[in-house]
């Protein structure tokens, strides 16, 4: 391996998008400290995200991003290893990844979502016809497939991937100081996410969320939503920033992660739960996908189905602070051992070193 191996990261977004920040950007300081030279080339730059989050057209930014990435491919010979976040050109055939393979340029591809279902489950018959096997081809031609959970790893195995490693989406412990929650007048139930995940997963729980607020001591904190979404009078909507998210989660007494049960959700990496655990608070979640792996029933949280179980388990945790603290401590231990940057950065270093040999 060269003394200073050069790694080119083809991320999908800039740092402000959660998937790119957590799967790629947060590892860069560690990799550079370990002797790697890291360069990053996002497909979609910051202005794309600004337009997207504002509900405006992103066509111009997308076209510019595709053009810039196409030109960047002509420089891959300057790097020892290429790391691709998901795919090089969304909604186009895998010609670019195939050419990398053809010309002997090794690449690693990383997944934290079941993006193959964008194609093989698409309602667009042309997409389904021509691209249903696209991600399988990308996986098969990769030197290593890094998967965020076992569902994604199983797909890579079926695709014929040469080497598969599972690395979950993790937090940096230095950003999440240990805490022990104390009894307070308000019992805060928290959720964090984007507007799209809110509308798909949390909004359908509206009935029991409102019902819980009949108890005036219960309060909901929704981080990532800034407008009133009609979830009841005892709800705080809190803007998200990278700098303040941890402090907001630390105000929760417990965190929730309801999910719709679909193929797409099976590819999710349960990051919300990992954030809750990092802040030493228990979680209640739907028994879908990786949630079943992260939550140990009755140890660090609960897996529930239906309004009755949500209400029952939330009320149980509200009235048992000792249990909340015990579960929160168990969750914190789980994160320290399996779901922290400190635990997984070494594995990334080893993958990159092996690929450079």
- Reduced to 3 states, what is the DSSP secondary structure of residue 272? helix
CATH numbers and ranges of domains, the chain: 6-170+341-356 (3.40.50.2000), 173-338 (3.40.50.2000)
**pLDDT value for 1:** 45
Q: How far apart are CA 267 and CA 265, in angstroms?
A: 5
The distance from CA 338 to its chain's CA centroid, rounded to whole angstroms, is 15
| 104-133 per-position pLDDT tens digit | 999 999 999 999 999 999 999 999 999 999
Bridge-based pairing state of the strands 107-111 and 144-147: parallel
Neighbours of 33 (CB within 10 A): 10
- E strand or H helix at 99, and its extent? helix 95-102
Q: Is 220 helix (H, G, I), strand (E, B) or coil?
A: strand
Q: How far apart are CA 290 and CA 168, in angstroms?
A: 10
| pLDDT tens, N- to C-terminus, the chain (357 residues) | 446 799 999 999 988 888 999 999 999 999 999 999 999 999 998 777 777 766 777 888 889 999 999 999 999 999 999 999 999 999 999 999 999 999 999 999 999 999 999 999 999 999 999 999 999 999 999 999 999 999 999 999 999 999 999 999 999 999 998 887 777 889 999 999 998 899 999 999 999 999 999 999 999 999 999 999 999 999 999 999 999 999 999 999 999 999 999 999 999 999 999 999 999 999 999 999 999 999 999 999 999 999 999 999 999 999 999 999 999 999 999 999 999 999 999 999 999 999 987
CB under 8 Å to 260, separation ≥6 — which residues? 200, 201, 204, 286, 288
**Maximum CA extent, the chain:** 65
- Phi, psi (degrees; rounded to nearest 5) at 74: -75, -5
State which H helix or E strand residue 85 sits in.
strand 81-85
Burial of 76 (C-beta count, 10 Å sphere; 0-12/13-18/19+): middle
| Cβ atoms < 10 Å from Cβ of 274 | 24
Structural element, H or E, at residue 284: strand 283-285
DSSP 77: G
pLDDT of 3? 61
């Amino acid at each position: 391996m060269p003394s200073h191996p050069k790694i080119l990261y083809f991320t999908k977004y800039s740092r402000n998008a959660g998937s790119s920040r957590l799967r790629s950007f947060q590892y860069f300081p560690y990799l550079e400290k370990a002797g790697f030279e890291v360069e990053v080339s996002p497909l979609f730059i910051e202005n794309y995200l600004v337009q997207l989050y504002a509900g405006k057209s992103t066509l111009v930014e997308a076209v510019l991003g595709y053009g810039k990435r196409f030109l960047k491919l002509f420089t891959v010979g300057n790097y020892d290893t290429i790391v691709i976040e998901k795919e090089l050109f969304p909604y186009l055939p895998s010609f670019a990844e195939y050419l990398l393979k053809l010309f002997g340029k090794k690449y690693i591809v990383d997944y934290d979502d079941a993006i193959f279902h964008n194609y093989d489950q698409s309602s667009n018959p042309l997409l389904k016809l021509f691209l249903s096997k696209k991600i399988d081809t990308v996986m098969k031609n990769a030197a290593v497939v890094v998967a965020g959970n076992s569902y994604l790893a199983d797909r890579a195995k079926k695709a014929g991937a040469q080497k598969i490693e599972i690395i979950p989406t993790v937090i940096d412990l230095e950003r999440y100081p240990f805490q022990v929650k104390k009894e307070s007048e308000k019992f805060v139930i928290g959720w964090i996410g984007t507007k799209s995940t809110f509308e798909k997963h949390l909004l359908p729980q509206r009935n029991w969320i409102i019902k819980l607020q009949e108890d005036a001591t219960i309060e909901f904190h929704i981080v990532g939503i800034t407008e009133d979404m009609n979830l009841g009078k005892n709800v705080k909507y809190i803007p998200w920033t990278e700098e303040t998210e941890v402090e907001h989660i630390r105000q929760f007494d417990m965190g929730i992660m309801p999910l719709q049960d679909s193929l797409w959700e099976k590819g999710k990496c349960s990051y919300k739960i990992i954030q809750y655990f990092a802040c030493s608070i228990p979680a209640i979640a739907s028994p879908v996908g990786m949630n079943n792996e992260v939550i140990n029933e009755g140890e660090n949280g609960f897996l529930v189905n239906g309004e009755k179980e949500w209400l029952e388990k939330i009320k149980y945790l509200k009235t048992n602070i000792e249990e909340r603290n015990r579960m929160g401590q168990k969750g914190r231990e789980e994160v320290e051992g399996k779901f922290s940057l400190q635990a997984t950065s070494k594995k990334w270093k080893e993958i990159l070193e092996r690929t450079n040999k």
